[in-house]
Structure 1
Amino acid sequence: MTQFRTRILVVPAVLLAEIIGIAVAYQFFATVDCHATGAQTGCELLRSLVARSIVSFAALGVYFWARPEAFRRLSQIGVARNGPGRWVWGIHLIGVGLILLPLVVGGSRNMTDEFFVALVPWLSGLVLAVATGVALVAPLGVWRDWLRAERFAPLPVLLVAVVIPDVANSLLPLWNWQVLTDFTFDAVVAVLLAFAPDIYADPATYIIGTESFRVYISSQCSGLEGIALVTAFIGIYGFLFRRDLHFTRFWLIMLPLGLTLSWLLNVVRIAILVMIGAHISPEIAVKGFHSYAGWLFFTLLAVFLLFVAQVMPWIHRHAPSAAQSIPLREDWLAARIIPFVALMVAGIVASAISVHPDLAYPLTALVMFLSLVYFRRHYWRLMTGIDPAAIAAGILVGAGWIIFQPPASAADASLAAVLNGLGATVLALWIISRLIGTMLLVPVVEELFFRGYLLGRLDFGGRAGRFFAVVASSAFFAMLHGRWIEAFVAGVIFALVMMRRDRLGDAVLAHVAANSVVAGWALINGTLTSI
């Protein structure tokens, strides 16, 4: 037992050190301009693996902390199995070597033009290193049996952690708050003046630093990544401890506290970056500290906040007994959340394997379909009858979406050109999967999460609570779509439709009607990219 517990603590630390070491090596000894590779999304996905790994390790640690019995169960299952053989370590080292191979062979240089050549050893090495890394912690059979025993509950937690960088990127268009940027700039100046009176600061251009090293504080530097990460970890904590929390008190205390501390930490981080660049090394400041220290610091802050939440008795109910364990397939909470998480992960995978993520929509549709089939017993009761008012509301939303359709973007034109170049069979498959996904699968998945789960969780009671829940859930719904205003209005209408008879099925029906109107219009006009 002791030997196995030592392994599941030491090996992840070694793996994390490997990840950071590989990232630092490429950061300092090679240059890759993702914008110029021709595969920007895939390149940026590879670059983000460091942040995703740090957050995922922390999220799994939080899970074990929240559920000590899960760690004991893993230990009990693992101690009865033989540990990994030396050959597993050998294959793991081969995988690490393949990842480093392009750097070792070519030395320090610009690898932008060689990106696709280097992609072969990178991806093959990544597969070997990850698979054997997991096996080194515990044999794959142990993980399988443990996940079954946990009703696969760790998977949604890890998936949320993995998509945090993508959530932060999707929020960038909303993160152009001039007041906050000004406030962040002034705060950094104040911190630096406490240690170095000769600071250069130009509020007009948001450039700050010294005579030898200066940085530009953009709107992204206002702390978006930290805010997204802290919010996600607070949400994970709320999910894991949901039976023991006063929901309203928890969010009213922890979220403002987390956002405030995240912003303060970001100010300190920028100030330290300037000091490192001015007095130690500009290269370390930009390539190392600026790139990775932020995610590490914000992860540590998130974990610290969870410890704070754990010792605050006012936000806990201290329920006398836990609810009886039920199979995952029978869990209504999981049935509302997991299909949406699966949709998000499928979107990430699609972005990684294709320059045009929409081309991989058949994969996304398949993932949604399988997740809904798994929980299908819960969904039949949603369709209790056809509500004409819900259909009318959906048609109104669809018509508004069409009327306010913006001109086609360059990305739309590029995708249209690729679709026109597909063979007839492949194009037909894409259109069918897109129609099924848009008209049937997406409405169910999104309504289950936004109106079925999030709307109720955000409602703290009374008219004010209901109003806040509608606005907040609709705002989150809008963040998922490129057209913020139209999506927000649609979210409000779907919420009102559901609240009218307190039936989630009505919101699903309205969403189906809206998407069907848009899909039909797109087919009639031949604008496949609008489906």
Structure 2
Amino acid sequence: MAFDMGDGGMTDTGLDSKRARPEMPKRTHRALLLIALFVAELVLLALAYQFLATIDCSATDAETTCRGLRSLVARALAVFAVAVVLLWARPGLASRFERLARRHPAPGQWTALHLGGVALLLVPLFVAAGADMAPMFGRLLPFWLAGSAAAAVGAILWLAPLPVWRKAAGKDAPVVVGAFAGALVLPDLADLVLPLWWHWPQLTAMTFHAVAGLLELIGAPVYEDAAGYILGAGDFYVHIAHQCSGVEGLALVTGFTLLYAALFRDQIRVPHYWLVILPLGLLLSWALNVLRIAVLIVIGDLVSPDLAVNGFHSYAGWLFFILLALGLMWFVHSTPWLHRTPAERPAPPPLRQDWDAARILPFVAFMLVSTVAAAFFFHPELGYPLKAAVMAGALAWFLPAYRGRDWRPTAPALMVGVAVGAFWIVAAPEDNMDAFVVSQLLTGLSETALILWIVCRVVGTIAFVPLIEELFFRGYILARLDRGGMGWRIVALAVSSALFGLMHGRWWEAALAGLVFGILALWRGRLADAVWAHVAANAVVAALALWRGDWALI
């Protein structure tokens, strides 16, 4: 078995290890990939708790603590966004970090600590099993606290050991500390400006009437109660309170505008920047919030009120506004008119040829599109054609990284995969309400839409999902944790299999399947064996699902 000990990744025989070294260093590149992975984990956790759990902080004995835990999602997103901006804005910081991290790679136990923390954060979902968590908050709190601490500490030290962070910061330490401190308190600052929604009647009226006008423009039957800030279409109404006012977005865009101005103060043309970018950012933030509220109302009226409130409403806030802020920063950086001298731009790395990126980013894309499907479709399964298209696009983008590797199938791998598929079928529960719900939803589709859905579901299940999941769980997580020796291999198999299981509704069967795929990958050091076993297993299950019409079986 061959391993690339520089990044902990399993390689196949015949791997060409010669790669171009762009101006942006590989370790910094890897840091950005890990940040993307952490964001995907965060989205997965938020999605799981939104749809699989019920908790009202006001009904607990520790409301402040409960709300503080909920705010960790927004704080983490802000920290990740600031980290991206810092790596982008400080090439010297990035190069120092790369050089030191290459000399002192992070031990594998920090990867295990981080992944173990993520697993702890998921434990309450299994303990509560869909029940109201408020009465059990005290008993579940240790899992959340320990999981959050382990996931955060493990993530930091997975990127690099503490001495590397301290030495890499160097003269930029005040900027780094200040930027991350600002990111951590950004949700609190946003809360402080929320009263502006009530004390700034012009903004309130402008937002309210803009949403109503947008709904009328698309032909929706609009109900308006301007005095009570109640707006709706059909039988779905919302009270536009300060939490969904968009003031948070205004504060967020302002914060990132200030951060960019501080980091690039020697390059920007001050009058142009402040007279154009800040007003533009505030206008775009306001417009995005208007669009968000209008889409929420349309989803609540035409699709599902529960989906609008628990899905789209929850995920369209901080995540969308942070993406808007980063997009605005990219626009500024790409516009010479806003700079005294052309901004320094490191040569873009050959992302499509990077093996780390090829193992991580398709999974990140899979997680993000799953969140979008859960937010915009009545049932996530109805959004499978969108998921299949994104998976296909992500895999196609990284074809240069996959070429030249040994992907040939072997008879043992295919036989093991068939056995795993048979086990999955035999262990399936007899009464599956989700299967009934999905089948009822599919009967409402037109013939063309149904055929398209079935084709996407089968192709995605057999071809795309096995490759994406194996690249990530066995190709990256398992290989990253395997540092040699029986002890590390047991840890690597246990952690990667447990996380793989938690990704699936039937978690213990999936964990056993992941264990089998992991053993196959380690047996001869061929990731292809795990991929083909997964393909064979899914093909067996998909064939039976197609025959029965039982799509919840997959």
TM bin, normalised by shorter chain, reads 0.5 to 0.7
Determine if contact 2:28/2:95 at 8 Å carries over to the other structure. no
Q: Displacement, 1:50?
A: 1.1
Alpha-carbon separation, structure 2, partners of 1:197 and 1:143: 54
SS at match of 2:220: coil
Alpha-carbon separation, structure 1, partners of 2:154 and 2:32: 16
Alpha-carbon separation, structure 2, partners of 1:256 and 1:82: 44
Farther-moved stretch of structure 1 (126-135 vs 309-318): 309-318
Alpha-carbon separation, structure 2, partners of 1:200 and 1:292: 25
Alpha-carbon separation, structure 2, partners of 1:222 and 1:106: 33
Counterpart in the other structure of 1:464: none
Amino acid aligned to 2:143: P
The structure, 1 or 2, with the larger RCO (C-alpha pairs under 8 Å, 6+ apart) is 2
Alpha-carbon separation, structure 2, partners of 1:297 and 1:221: 13
SS at match of 1:245: coil
Counterpart in the other structure of 1:99: 121
Counterpart in the other structure of 2:240: 217
Farther-moved stretch of structure 1 (247-256 vs 3-12): 3-12
Determine if contact 1:8/1:138 at 8 Å carries over to the other structure. no
Amino acid aligned to 2:141: L
- Residues 101 and 217 of structure 1: CA distance in aligned 2, closer, same or farther (over 3 Å): same
Determine if contact 2:222/2:231 at 8 Å carries over to the other structure. yes
Q: Displacement, 1:83?
A: 4.1
Alpha-carbon separation, structure 2, partners of 1:160 and 1:175: 23
Alpha-carbon separation, structure 1, partners of 2:252 and 2:321: 7
Alpha-carbon separation, structure 2, partners of 1:99 and 1:153: 31
Amino acid aligned to 1:155: V
Q: Is 1:236 matched with 2:259?
A: yes
The correspondence for 1:147, drawn from 156, 164, 169, is: 169
Determine if contact 1:56/1:161 at 8 Å carries over to the other structure. yes
Percent identical = 44
Alpha-carbon separation, structure 2, partners of 1:315 and 1:97: 45
- Residues 145 and 156 of structure 1: CA distance in aligned 2, closer, same or farther (over 3 Å): same
Counterpart in the other structure of 2:424: none
Q: Is 1:55 matched with 2:78?
A: yes
- Residues 128 and 238 of structure 1: CA distance in aligned 2, closer, same or farther (over 3 Å): same
Q: Displacement, 1:293?
A: 1.6
SS at match of 1:209: strand
Counterpart in the other structure of 2:137: 115
Q: Is 1:302 matched with 2:318?
A: no
- Residues 47 and 219 of structure 1: CA distance in aligned 2, closer, same or farther (over 3 Å): closer
Amino acid aligned to 1:105: V
Q: Displacement, 1:54?
A: 1.4
Counterpart in the other structure of 1:124: 146
Alpha-carbon separation, structure 2, partners of 1:99 and 1:298: 25
Determine if contact 1:51/1:292 at 8 Å carries over to the other structure. no
TM-score by length of 1: 0.57
Counterpart in the other structure of 1:204: 227
Alpha-carbon separation, structure 2, partners of 1:300 and 1:168: 17
Alpha-carbon separation, structure 1, partners of 2:110 and 2:88: 29
Alpha-carbon separation, structure 2, partners of 1:150 and 1:205: 49
Q: Displacement, 1:167?
A: 0.7
Q: Displacement, 1:237?
A: 0.6
Alpha-carbon separation, structure 1, partners of 2:207 and 2:343: 45
Alpha-carbon separation, structure 1, partners of 2:272 and 2:33: 37
Determine if contact 2:116/2:147 at 8 Å carries over to the other structure. yes
SS at match of 1:243: coil
Counterpart in the other structure of 1:136: 158
SS at match of 1:201: strand
Amino acid aligned to 1:307: W
SS at match of 2:244: helix
Amino acid aligned to 2:126: V
Q: Displacement, 1:47?
A: 0.4
Amino acid aligned to 2:149: V
Counterpart in the other structure of 1:259: 282
Counterpart in the other structure of 1:179: 202
Counterpart in the other structure of 2:97: 74
Where structure 2 has 5 or more consecutive residues not aligned to the other structure, the ranges are 1-20, 345-554
Amino acid aligned to 1:165: P
Alpha-carbon separation, structure 2, partners of 1:320 and 1:264: 29
Alpha-carbon separation, structure 1, partners of 2:343 and 2:329: 22
Alpha-carbon separation, structure 2, partners of 1:12 and 1:64: 11
Counterpart in the other structure of 1:407: none
Question: 1:424-477: per-residue Cα shift (whole Å, max 9, x none)?
Answer: xxxxxxxxxxxxxxxxxxxxxxxxxxxxxxxxxxxxxxxxxxxxxxxxxxxxxx
- Residues 303 and 319 of structure 1: CA distance in aligned 2, closer, same or farther (over 3 Å): closer
Amino acid aligned to 1:9: L
Alpha-carbon separation, structure 2, partners of 1:310 and 1:129: 32
Alpha-carbon separation, structure 2, partners of 1:120 and 1:320: 47
SS at match of 1:82: coil
Determine if contact 2:230/2:239 at 8 Å carries over to the other structure. yes
The correspondence for 2:304, drawn from 265, 270, 281, is: 281
SS at match of 2:316: helix
Q: Displacement, 1:259?
A: 1.1
Amino acid aligned to 2:54: T
Aligned pairs for 1:370-409 (under 5 A) are none
Counterpart in the other structure of 2:270: 247
Counterpart in the other structure of 2:191: 169
Counterpart in the other structure of 1:160: 182
Alpha-carbon separation, structure 2, partners of 1:227 and 1:125: 32
SS at match of 1:114: helix
Amino acid aligned to 2:299: I
Q: Displacement, 1:75?
A: 1.3
Q: Is 1:25 matched with 2:48?
A: yes
Q: Is 1:291 matched with 2:314?
A: yes
- Residues 145 and 318 of structure 1: CA distance in aligned 2, closer, same or farther (over 3 Å): same
Q: Displacement, 1:108?
A: 0.6
Alpha-carbon separation, structure 2, partners of 1:22 and 1:183: 35
Question: 1:68-112: per-residue Cα shift (whole Å, max 9, x none)?
Answer: 232222111111223432x33333232122212122112112111
Where structure 1 has 5 or more consecutive residues not aligned to the other structure, the ranges are 322-531
SS at match of 1:108: coil
Determine if contact 1:222/1:266 at 8 Å carries over to the other structure. yes
Counterpart in the other structure of 2:447: none
SS at match of 2:105: coil
Alpha-carbon separation, structure 2, partners of 1:151 and 1:27: 37
Determine if contact 1:180/1:222 at 8 Å carries over to the other structure. no
